[in-house]
A and B are shown apart, each in its own frame.
Chain A
Amino acid sequence: MIIQVLNGLVYGGMLYILSVGLVLLFGLRRVVNFAHGGLFMLGAYAGYAASMQFGFWGGVVFSVVALAVLGALLDRLVFRPLQNVDHMITVLVTYGLLLVFEDFVHTVWGADLISVRVPALLAGTIGIGDTQFPVYRLVVIAVAIAVALGLSAWLHFSRAGLYVRASSVDSLTTAMQGVDTERLSIGVVALGTALAGLSGVVAAPLIALSPSMGSSILIESFIVVVTGGLGSFVGAFIAAIVIGQVHNFGVVYLPNVSSMLPLLLMVGVLIWRPTGLARTQS
């Protein structure tokens, strides 16, 4: 039982790191970013490429920085012009970006699958009860908790965090108070894409790298964001953890319908509470 709960936390943690980037983007730019799965995939490949030269941890740093820079560029060139247009146009443009990212990776690394090894330091297992549990999986949980705590502290105890929270509720009024929301948005979008990169590089030793790896996890991260409440950081955390557990226990106790359970959960939550688990203004 404990092992299954831990497995749920690993998957939920991975989903959280990816989904919270989507929440940041939606909160500040009101952009539903379908390219987010592509950023996750780019993060994994960038980390893999850099790890060939600088080792796994060098790969992590490179991936996060590279994706942050890419995020700043995307904000200036794509998200900012899109923030006031019809949502359907946003969806089409960002979905197009996802395809561009996939083709880019396909051209550079090919379609063959790539397996990334767990760094030697974290490659072993640890005994929990009478079962062995991989150390790396505990690290994934730790990274997710660190991201959640760090983000929460930044949002609640820093001036920039205050501006982000204010801007995600009402950008116009926040700007009228003298906050440079455009500059703020670049930083926040860069942070969101950096988190997508981080989730990709952290997930790389668990799932095979392929150009389509982003599309396969994108739906689940959208389920997290919608279930948690669009634009809600706390909601994304709760939803990711709940969906991670639903996924795990669903496989064990309801194997025939396990793949449907996260979707059913989302539908149930939206009927019960249309604004998501954590009520927001969205």
Chain B
Amino acid sequence: MIISKRQLLSLACSVAIVAAWSVPAFSQNKDAIKVGVPTALTGPYGDLGNQVRRAVEFAVEEANTKGGVDGRKVEVQFQDTQAKADSARQQGEKLALSGYKLLVGTIASGEGLALNPMLERWDALYISTINKADALTGESCSPRSFRVNHPDYSDASAVGTWLKTQQQGKWAVMGSDTAWGRNSGASFKTTAEGMGKSVVTEGYAALGANDFAPYIQQFVSSGAEGIWVALAGRDAINFAQQAAQFGLLKKVNVAGVSFVTDNTVATLGDVSKGIWGIINYSSTLDTPENKAFVAAWGKKYPGTQPSNFEGETYVGMQVLFQAVTKAKSVKPADVAKAMSGGSFDTVFGKSELRAKDNQLVVPNYFGRVDTHEGGLRPVISLTVPKDVATPGPDAKCKM
């Protein structure tokens, strides 16, 4: 078959038109949204950092497929922090200085606390999606720093509601020797003692600890009837695995924060059944926004549901994109202005980002690992309404 020049030209034009039709049209006059993600891609929290990565990639792809955010293309760059505060500061600076000034997604609270004082100097903005230490939106708060996940004091209020229903009077605390772990242990102790219960022993293991046997033996000897666990990632798995081998999980009531997540349950299997925990986000949340998110997630990552940290990180991206649309700018100062005091559509429903401390006001949940739709999942059994779960702003926060 011989194709004439005219036919060839018309064919090329057709291909170009189809290609242009199928590729999202981003505005050439608008700056791209550059998101920097300094997170733990390796180290003891490596699995959590990779959950952050999955959620950010999901949100970015979802936005770009729909033609971007306010016509702007979303670009993202990841840097490994190994969950170390000094590394988070270095990687955050590297990202900000290379134009990725909208920072999201560190894991350890110490990392977020290391970023906060530097944000204005870097002309950057930071959205915490995992950091729990109260200080982030308390004494160390910053006009450029926002938190969309639940702080420790929110978890404490959920614990208080749940603990009232439990009979055990003597408790032990097993926490990570980090700002978050100590904060969570102290909050639990205050809450328990306020109800006439006691914390008979406490153990705080270094991040990345391999051996929890000495702590487990202490708990056995102390006569504790319940254990509050503030461990995440590999530490949480190591503790649960070893405690199960000592028969401890069957003898005492075990509950925790960041402990009952889809990923922990998937790794531990039957060992995790019956463990109680704060569920900050669950793929089973009954809101239209969450149902749409879970369905879209299943298409990108077949056979999986978004985990606790993936859901929370997605909320951060939802808030960021809506703030950029509202600000009509990607400059961190403008985006921060749009975020503070704003109202946003999230997987939790309509949620306010409180201006006084830049904390997202959302409900909190408590539940336990149980069989759900044929598999083990964290199942919500108690919902703490948003006014109880996120009480008034911390007075120590001076913007």
Contacts and interface: CB of A to CB of B under 8 A. Distances in A.
Contacts of A102: 42
A229 to B, nearest CB: 24
Nearest to A219: B208
Given A115-B241, A251-B203, A255-B204, A11 B246 contact: no
B211 to A, nearest CB: 5
B62 interface: no
Interface residues of B, number: 37
Cβ-closest 4 pairs across A and B: A251-B214, A208-B237, A7-B213, A111-B50
A212 B234 CA distance: 10
A132 B243 CA distance: 12
B271 interface: yes
Contacts of A131: 217, 220
A207 B206 contact: no
A248 B271 contact: no
B149 to A, nearest CB: 21
B329 to A, nearest CB: 35
B245 A11 contact: no
A142 interface: no
B269 interface: yes
B287 interface: no
B234 A3 contact: no
Interface string A193-213: 000000000010111101111
Contacts of A113: 47, 233-234, 237, 263, 267
From A7, A216, A251, residue with most partner B Cβ within 10 Å: A251
Nearest to A11: B211
A61 interface: no
B47 A115 contact: no
Contacts of B245: 118, 123, 125, 134, 136-137, 205-206
Contacts of A184: none
A248 B217 CA distance: 10
Contacts of A242: none
B268 interface: yes
A207 B246 CA distance: 14
A7 B44 contact: no
Given A7-B214, A212-B46, 16 more contacts: A7-B213, A7-B217, A111-B50, A112-B47, A112-B266, A118-B245, A131-B217, A207-B210, A208-B237, A212-B42, A212-B43, A249-B214, A251-B205, A251-B218, A252-B218, A259-B206
Contact of A210 (B46, B241, B246): B46
Contacts of A111: 41, 46-47, 49-50
B238 interface: yes
